[in-house]
Amino acid sequence: MKLTPHASSATPDKGALSPVAYDLLVIGAGPAGLAAARDAAAAGARVALIESHHIGGNCLHEGCIPSKTILRSAQLLADMRNALNYGVDLPDVGNADFAAVMERMRRVRDRILRVDSAARLDGEGIALHLGHARFVSADAVDVAGTRLRFRKALVATGSRPLLPDIEGLEAAGYLTNESVFELTRLPPSLLVIGGGPLGCELAQGFARLGSRTLICHSEPLFLPGEERDAAQMVSHALARDGVEIHLNCNIVAVRLEGGRKHITMVIDGNPSTTVVDEVLTGIGRLPAVQGLDLEKAGVAYDAGAGIQVDDFLRTTNPRIFAAGDVCLEEAYTNTAEASARIVVRNALFRGRQRMSALTVPWCTYTDPQVAHVGLYVRQARAQGIPVKTYTVPMHDVVRAITDGDEEGFVKVHVRDGTDRILGATIVGRCAGELINNISLAMVAGMGLRRLAGVIHAYPTQGEAVRQAAQACVRSLDAGEKRTHKNTA
Ligand SMILES: Cc1cc2nc3c(=O)[nH]c(=O)nc-3n(C[C@H](O)[C@H](O)[C@H](O)COP(=O)(O)OP(=O)(O)OC[C@H]3O[C@@H](n4cnc5c(N)ncnc54)[C@H](O)[C@@H]3O)c2cc1C
């Protein structure tokens, strides 16, 4: 495709039909939209980026960044309370200064926002338009009274919280990820509804900061989808931090009385009640497809599953692509960015890159963290792949012992009889960092035999991965010796 040179100024074409169609028009300035706009502009494309709320999207304002910043404060406090176990006497640790924790979070957010400022985007040749975008046809969008035409478009409008249908909840009031980071006062007590990554992370964080915290999850284990032993460790960790855990639990009614929320829940069929100051819901996300007039552009979508895309991220309109939470089951920032980059190649450069070819790790940032990449055992078996798993408990890893981080494990799944990595789950204090080693090996097509030969800095927790690789090599070598003996 021949790209027209990009505009030198981001001044919106107010009140008029834009004279030249943009090579790429991007709706949504979250991680997906920003990554696509930047890559396309750097390649010389004429790019427009439309944002209705704030640049940075859910990740920066109401997701990854505020949550991880607060979790850091909570972890520090937990470590300080545990200091005596390390021979450090810190009397009267007390609770957090919640206002100061939130102030730090806002400073961190502002600092990161500078990277994505409107001025910076302008400098990169991206025409930023603020307002809610709506399709008016198969090749044009209206935003704040301006009609913009495009050769190719990317819908990267992300997701919004899925709200539970609970009697009285609306009237009693509740928090979601869109409001919890605006709190100025630590709730004395908090009920978290939902035991996915968001619920588990924030339940542990608020408990550590000093709230009496309850978590209610409708299934028998937290983190649906993760391996059972990993989810079990998260359960133990939350309990250790004083979170009241309710599994197989459904909240059926909420009633406001005397400024507090009276909760009726049913656990394993048995009703019970409790009273809390705040309720935080985190039961899932819905793709943000409303108000886009996708019908006018011929883009098929489903209110629950989002925009329909093929493996090349094309929608049912060949000019329009989608990326990130609005179309993908795996709703993570790294997935949003990676999918957006695929769109730039496929939409502007006739690429044929497939979403299914990506290797995407993810992590739940509880303490210990739970990280995963590739296939789970059940998925490999469903595909008829024979699996062998090599497990190294963190209590066998020298650096984990010196750090007092013995909770957790590294589990690597390979195709049985080979060193080919299928997937891995890591539970540990820095599981999110460790999983990157395995992702790297998988992307590079490196088997466990080569990984076993990679000398790691000593002592590091990353050695757990090498130890798992060595276990695989020993097992393969022993198998070869047996075969040799039997055939000799
Ligand atoms: C509490 C929480 C913690 C999280 N932590 C992590 C984590 O640790 N790691 C991780 O990888 N992921 C995490 N996530 C998920 C991550 O935030 C999302 O996957 C990521 O933000 C998706 O990026 P996106 O670009 O697809 O969408 P979004 O970030 O949602 O951005 C979409 C943008 O589009 C804009 N928009 C919507 N409609 C329109 C319209 N019609 N016109 C113009 N603009 C529009 C929105 O205002 C928004 O700015 C977390 C999420 C939550 C809620």
CA 272 to chain centre: 33
CA of 432 to the centre of ligand 1 (A): 20
Pocket probe mutation, ligand 1, options 49, 50, 59, 130, max atoms within 8 Å of Cβ = 59
Ligand 1: does its nearest atom lie under 6 Å from the Cβ of 325? yes
Ligand 1: does its nearest atom lie under 6 Å from the Cβ of 198? yes
pLDDT tens digits along 403-421: 999 999 999 999 999 999 9
Ligand 1: does its nearest atom lie under 6 Å from the Cβ of 31? yes
With a threshold of 0.85, does the pTM exceed it? yes
Instruction: Looking at the CA of residue 325, tell me the nearest atom of ligand 1.
Output: 26
Q: Tell how strand 244-246 and strand 387-393 pair up.
A: unpaired
Ligand 1: does its nearest atom lie under 6 Å from the Cβ of 179? no
pLDDT tens digits along 134-149: 999 999 999 999 999 9
Instruction: Looking at the CA of residue 365, tell me the nearest atom of ligand 1.
Output: 8
Ligand 1: does its nearest atom lie under 6 Å from the Cβ of 52? yes
Ligand 1: does its nearest atom lie under 6 Å from the Cβ of 65? no
From CA 88, how far away is CA 24, in angstroms rounded? 57
pLDDT confidence tier of residue 481, bands split at 50, 70 and 90: confident
What residues contact 87, with CB distance under 8 A and at least 6 apart?
A: none
| CA-nearest residue, atom 53 of ligand 1 | 63
Ligand 1: does its nearest atom lie under 6 Å from the Cβ of 33? yes
Average pLDDT over residues 67-87: 97
| CA-nearest residue, atom 47 of ligand 1 | 53
What was the pLDDT predicted at 334? 98
CA of 30 to the centre of ligand 1 (A): 6
What was the pLDDT predicted at 3? 46
pLDDT tens digits along 268-283: 889 999 999 999 999 9
| Amino acid of residue 79 | D
What was the pLDDT predicted at 18? 52
What residues contact 422, with CB distance under 8 A and at least 6 apart?
A: 374, 375, 380, 385, 387, 413, 414, 415
Ligand 1: does its nearest atom lie under 6 Å from the Cβ of 201? no
pLDDT tens digits along 439-452: 999 999 999 999 99
| CA-nearest residue, atom 51 of ligand 1 | 63
pLDDT confidence tier of residue 332, bands split at 50, 70 and 90: very high
Ligand 1: does its nearest atom lie under 6 Å from the Cβ of 232? no
What was the pLDDT predicted at 484? 67
Which of 405, 445, 456, 447 lies closest to 426 in space, CA to CA? 405
From CA 315, how far away is CA 254, in angstroms rounded? 41
Pocket probe mutation, ligand 1, options 130, 333, 343, 370, max atoms within 8 Å of Cβ = 333
Pocket probe mutation, ligand 1, options 155, 157, 283, max atoms within 8 Å of Cβ = 157
Instruction: Looking at the CA of residue 53, tell me the nearest atom of ligand 1.
Output: 47
Helix 98-115 / helix 64-81 crossing angle, nearest 10 deg: 140
CA of 113 to the centre of ligand 1 (A): 14
pLDDT confidence tier of residue 159, bands split at 50, 70 and 90: very high
| CA-nearest residue, atom 6 of ligand 1 | 64
